[in-house]
Amino acid sequence: MRLRAGTIAITGLLLLMTGCSTMQGDATVEENVTIDQAKTIAQEMETTLAGFVPPDQVASIAQNPTGALMSCSKEGDYLWSGQTKVILEPGTTYDGDAVTSKIAAAYDGSKSYRTETDMTTDGQPRAHVIGENGEGYLVALSVDKTFVQILSFSPCFVLPDDVSPSKPY
């Protein structure tokens, strides 16, 4: 069990790093967005994406109440990153192809988003929803196949000088 938890943690970290790297560079910094607003934007999209999993397959949805700030372009610009888990009913056969296809159809070119789909390192379909303002979301089945993991990265914003990026928000 300890090895499984470590594997899940490493996989999550790799997904976070992958997601972050795709949102650096040309991201537009939202000058008037606060940490709380960025968090709300990301968490609302996590909830929306969780809705793509068929309801009869969902045992529960667990949204992390806090996340971490990550640098997103230059010094002082950050994004809020978080996670939601859609816990699957035991014995459910999750159709990742269908879920990622529905997400891609809903967001590719719509509402200032584009989508990319690919496969995780363990062969599961993954959807990556990317906003023009630097926000991004990764949706994929967990390694142990018990939940769908939704990782979020808010729009980039300017962190006030008196706020520490190292504490959870």
Q: Give residue-wise pLDDT tens across range 90-99.
A: 999 999 999 9
Percent share of the chain, pLDDT over 70:
83
Between CA 169 and CA 103 the distance in angstroms is 27
Q: What is the pLDDT of residue 23?
A: 42
Domain formed by 2-158, architecture:
2-Layer Sandwich (3.30)
The answer to whether residues 157 and 78 touch, using CB atoms and an 8 Å cutoff, is yes
Its pTM stands at 0.83
Give the closest residue to 63 by CA, choosing from 78, 38, 42.
42
Q: Phi and psi for 138 in degrees, rounded to 5?
A: -115, 130
Domain residue spans of the chain: 2-158
Give the number of other Cβ atoms within 10 Å of residue 101's Cβ: 16
Q: Are strands 68-71 and 58-63 parallel, antiparallel or unpaired?
A: unpaired
DSSP H stretches of helix in the chain: 2-23, 35-50, 96-107
Between CA 53 and CA 102 the distance in angstroms is 10
Residues in the chain where the model's pLDDT stays below 50: 1-24
Q: Which amino acid is at 139?
A: V
